[in-house]
Amino acid sequence: MNAASKRDRVALIVGASRGLGLGLVREYLARGWSVIATERVAGGSPALAELRGQGGARLTLDVVDIAQPEQIRALAGRLAGVTLDLLFVNAGIADDASKPIGEVTTEDFVNLLCTNALGPMRVVEWLGGGVKPDGTIAVMTSGLGSVGMDPPAGYEAYGASKAALNRLMRGYAVRAGAGRSLLAVMPGWVRTDMGGSAAPLDVDTSVAGIADAIAARAGQPGLHFVDYTNAELPW
């Protein structure tokens, strides 16, 4: 029996090969959930393979590159009929933080928008129907995507892509999100490949806080922009 056919609570974590996504997989397994975790390339994540090898009957691996719409469609097809308690789109990329927007190439900007905003929303749109009416749909955003908070210097294109993600989640919430708990999650500044070694938070602290925030808001309809302590942030 695979994770998807069990009656445990089931989470689909998209972008789970390393960093925060991998941390979310560990956290939900530790909380007794079944987890479907995706990587971009089959067998591409030694850490996920190790988790699977540690007797992870509750862990199922799948594959999707969220910049490739046909791969998202294929994932949706494979998971048709699977009821999810949580859909969490964690996958994202950053660019060179120091580049002013005038120096960002069109190709890099489009790549950021497609990976950080369009791709996650395609996952939400095409797989969100599998989430229980009282389940949770979450995307990993950033404080840098807030237009209500003063931005620090840098990360201009990255921040714009996360602002786009936030806006698109708001549109989704108005049109299609009724009933479910919808979250745009800011994980804090976390020590990962993306966050770097100077970040103050470790992955375990961030993902435990995120899972607590999701649990605290489970069954409460509506969209919220929250950080890993469950504090609301200005859009």
Ligand X SMILES: NC(=O)c1ccc[n+]([C@@H]2O[C@H](COP(=O)([O-])OP(=O)(O)OC[C@H]3O[C@@H](n4cnc5c(N)ncnc54)[C@H](OP(=O)(O)O)[C@@H]3O)[C@@H](O)[C@H]2O)c1
Residues that bind ligand X (CB under 6 A): 15, 17-21, 40, 44, 65-67, 90-93, 115, 140, 142, 187, 189-190, 192-195, 199
Describe the strand order of the beta sheet including 84-89 as a list of residue ranges: 59-63, 34-39, 10-14, 84-89, 131-140, 181-186, 222-227
Residue closer to ligand X, measured from CB, 101 or 178: 101
Say how far apart CA 62 and CA 73 lie, in whole Å.
Answer: 13
Crossing angle of helices 119-127 and 69-78, in 10° steps, is 30
Please, what is the minimum distance in Å from the beta carbon of residue 30 to ligand X? Answer: 18
Residue closer to ligand X, measured from CB, 52 or 132: 52
Residue closer to ligand X, measured from CB, 6 or 40: 40
Residue closer to ligand X, measured from CB, 134 or 204: 204
Token pair 């002013």 is found at 100
Count CB atoms within 10 A of the CB of residue 192.
Answer: 20
Contact (Cβ atoms closer than 8 angstroms) between residue 90 and residue 115 = no
Please, what is the minimum distance in Å from the beta carbon of residue 178 to ligand X? Answer: 26
Please, what is the minimum distance in Å from the beta carbon of residue 112 to ligand X? Answer: 10
Give the SS3 label for residue 212.
Answer: helix
Please, what is the minimum distance in Å from the beta carbon of residue 71 to ligand X? Answer: 8
Please, what is the minimum distance in Å from the beta carbon of residue 140 to ligand X? Answer: 4
Say how far apart CA 68 and CA 57 lie, in whole Å.
Answer: 29
Residue closer to ligand X, measured from CB, 27 or 65: 65
